[in-house]
Amino acid sequence: MKYDYIVIGAGPAGYVSAIKAAQLGLKTAIIEVCEDRVGGTCLNEGCIPAKALFGIAKNLKEISEGADLYGIAETKPNIAKFVEKSRSASDTLRKGVLYLFKKKGIDLLLGKAIFDSPGKISIKAPGETDRTVLGKKILIATGSKPYQIPGVPFDGKRILSSSGAIRLKEAPKNILIIGGGAIGTEFASYFNLLGSEVSLLEMKDTLLPEMDKEVSRAFGTLLKKRGVKIITSAIAENICVKENEVQVTIKKSGSEETKVYRKILVAVGRQPNTAEIGLEKIGIELEGKGIIPVDGRMKTAADNVYAAGDVVKGPMLAHVASAEGEIAALDAAGKTFREIDPSMVPNVVYTDIQVARIGLSEDEAREKGQDIAIGKQYFRANGKAVLSGQDDGFVKILADKGTRKILGVHILGPEAGEIIHEFAVAKQAGLTVDDISKTVHAHPTLSEIAVDACNAVFDRPAHG
């Protein structure tokens, strides 16, 4: 079978790219190992089911804390039901993607794809004869998998990956989470909400090292207040499963301590799925830990072969993967596009109290020699935050003193992941803090804080 465009991998990069290519008139096929994997890690093992769980747990906490107000005598979490609900959300969205494939005339080919040449792919499926497909242009979007600590395999019982953690039907009495990035902190918040004793270990000196340091430190303080034990500048060694528990040696500042936990979640990053797909046959040499080099058009060193998503350099974020997949499809169809500007991409951490950023951190701005002005506004001065009982955190804005344009925005607080997009649009459009501060926002809303934060950069906010 011959196609104009073949996509390997049906995750956010792959399925968005395939749909865009089909919309542009290309005869398109997408190859995925099995139908249950359509939607990729985000839809099946990450973003969607995890956020469903986190949302339910947060609602439970709010109801529990307001039991007297709501007239509820007792609340007991049914985590098995939580998991069932999260799987239902994933199933619904996956069916939606499959429907779009049919609607757009995209062929879904099930099996493992292996390159024979830049335009020729073999598809291997258990119990079936190998098939060969030809593509004028091909996108590699095979995603990633949780990084495994050498010598410490995931067993799904005591040593967990994020995929295992979202399927736990009981809250562990205690758990050690190794890795204080987005995945680690999100699960720390989740298990904390469920009542587990949570210890969170990070090798660097703050949690969320990719965020603005002031925000990271404040976030760590709030997580501690909620009962999470935070261990920074530390490493875990000698991880050993013993019957129903795990023994771990924690090394920190020249000292070490052996602790015992019921479960360990390893959240130290992800690695690209680029092995055993025949890249050596098409002249693609990998960089680092399995990264495929690409240019701004998402093209690889192989003729007419693209790559997008977690297999290329950059943040492993579903929305970035989708944008990269769309660029590949546009280029394959001969259409124009705008290259991704990393400074315009929002990054969000979906913990109990959310964290979001776009653009430069304060340290990055100073390293670049930017003459900056900084404004900050706290949620405790926001009416909606106070009446909702979610008034922790703040918005921090960095602006250029000369042009007054936004250089970076950092939010720690309720619905940070929603509020950040107002700043994303403003930054993309080249607006100034004055443009936002002159915009009338509805009251009472969390987004009102944008006006006060912008006023705080060069002036004084009304509520501050």
By the 8 A CB rule, do 433 and 406 touch?
yes
Extract the runs of DSSP E, i.e. beta strands, from 143-254.
Answer: 144-146, 159-160, 174-178, 197-201, 229-231, 234-242, 245-252
Q: How many CA atoms lie within 13 A of 50 on its CB side?
A: 26
Q: How many CA atoms lie within 13 A of 270 on its CB side?
A: 28
What is the rounded CA–CA span in Å between residue 133 and residue 113?
10
410 is annotated as an active-site residue: no
Query: At what angle are helices 449-458 and 416-428 packed, to 10 degrees?
Result: 50
Cα 127 from chain centroid (whole Å): 36
By the 8 A CB rule, do 392 and 398 touch?
no
Closest-CA residue to 352 (of 264, 416, 396, 395) = 416
The type of residue at 100 is: L
Pairing of strands 263-266, 107-110: unpaired
What is the rounded CA–CA span in Å between residue 345 and residue 358?
6
What is the rounded CA–CA span in Å between residue 3 and residue 121?
11
By the 8 A CB rule, do 114 and 121 touch?
yes
By the 8 A CB rule, do 228 and 198 touch?
yes
Task: Give the CA distances from residue 220 to residues 152, 188, 223, in Å, rounded to whole numbers and listed in that order.
Answer: 27, 11, 5
Our CA dihedral for 252, 256, 261, 263, rounded to 10 degrees, sits at 50
The active-site residue out of 421, 441, 443, 463 is 443
Token representation of residue 417: 């992941």
DSSP 239: E
Pairing of strands 28-32, 144-146: unpaired
Residue recorded with tokens 């052996």: 258
- Phi/psi at 253 (5° precision): 50, 50
What is the rounded CA–CA span in Å between residue 187 and residue 57?
11
CB-based contacts of 4: which residues, under 8 Å, 6+ apart?
Answer: 21, 26, 27, 28, 135, 136, 137, 332
By the 8 A CB rule, do 394 and 377 touch?
yes
Active site residues: 443
